[in-house]
Amino acid sequence: MQPSDDILVKRVKNGDMDAFELLVRRYENKVYTVAYRFLGSHADASDLAQETFLRLYQALPSFRGESSFVTWLYSVTANACRDEIRRKQRTPVVSWENEVVNSGGQTVSLTLGRNRIPTPEEAAEQNELNESVQQCLNELPEEQRLILVMREIQGLSYEEIAGVLKCSLGTVKSRLSRARRAFRDTYVSKRELFGQCSRLAK
């Protein structure tokens, strides 16, 4: 049976580096995924993941367990992402797992089914869609991007997000609603503009 996060944290505080290695292996994929969704670069995400775990190790002595370890880990990761975005002004490339409604009232899926190989036509359409999604995310404020990544990509609960952002559940829900609406509105407006440009080019 694997030791719990709390037990590993206590061991790390007592100087057990093997315990820290276990924590890293347990959460490195999650940290990397958040970093990649924010930065859109495997190299940058790898560097940021290392930076995150370095910060984590340095801050562990001050971790009092007032929140769960995983919530605290996401807070450290989110702060590292914010710092990197401010430093490099980089933007994410994501395959968005959600749906939006276009101007004709049609629901548009932003990802293909995972259980089958897409046709060349579907792959081309998906690439175009991913580019549109990236452009929309580029225009979202940092906090809206963060909450969408945590909820829609990482699948965090409202309670976990509230712990990361240090706000109430009501605030999480309202921020998430605004972020989804901002993303949808931006996506729809860009698709409509693209359609107008295509018609003018004919």
Closest CA to 191 of 133, 149, 152, 138: 133
pLDDT digits (tens, 9 = 90+) for 175-199: 999 999 998 888 887 766 555 444 4
Question: Residues 122, 198: one domain?
Answer: yes
Q: Among 90, 125, 153, which residue terminates a domain?
A: 90
**Torsion angle of the four alpha carbons 181, 183, 187, 193, in this order, in degrees rounded to the nearest 10:** 80
The better pLDDT of the pair 187, 22 is held by 22
Q: Among 90, 112, 145, which residue terminates a domain?
A: 90
Q: Which of 16-25, 82-91, 100-109, 145-154 has the highest mean pLDDT?
A: 16-25
> Residue 77 belongs to a domain with what CATH number?
1.10.1740.10
The better pLDDT of the pair 143, 10 is held by 10
Give the contacts of 39 (CB within 8 A, at least 6 positions apart).
Answer: 45, 48, 81, 84, 85, 88, 90, 92
Question: Residues 172, 116: one domain?
Answer: yes
Distance (Å, rounded) from C-alpha 123 to C-alpha 99? 17
Question: Residues 104, 182: one domain?
Answer: yes
**Predicted confidence band at 109 (pLDDT cuts at 50, 70, 90)?**
very low
Question: Residues 81, 49: one domain?
Answer: yes
pLDDT digits (tens, 9 = 90+) for 61-103: 889 888 899 999 999 998 998 888 877 654 444 444 444 444 4
The reported pLDDT for the residue numbered 47 is 92
Distance (Å, rounded) from C-alpha 100 to C-alpha 85? 26
Question: Residues 101, 184: one domain?
Answer: yes
Q: Are 90 and 41 in contact (CB under 8 A)?
A: yes
**Around Cβ 196, how many Cβ atoms within 10 Å?**
10
Question: Residues 129, 147: one domain?
Answer: yes
> Residue 125 belongs to a domain with what CATH number?
1.10.10.10
Question: Residues 4, 99: one domain?
Answer: no
**Predicted confidence band at 106 (pLDDT cuts at 50, 70, 90)?**
very low
The reported pLDDT for the residue numbered 88 is 67
The reported pLDDT for the residue numbered 56 is 92
**Around Cβ 20, how many Cβ atoms within 10 Å?**
19
Question: Residues 142, 101: one domain?
Answer: yes
CA of residue 153 relative to chain centroid, distance? 6
Give residue 60's domain range: 1-90
Q: Among 63, 90, 117, which residue terminates a domain?
A: 90
The better pLDDT of the pair 28, 115 is held by 28
CA-only gyration radius of the chain, Å:
19
> Could you give the number of structural domains in the chain?
2
**Predicted confidence band at 113 (pLDDT cuts at 50, 70, 90)?**
very low
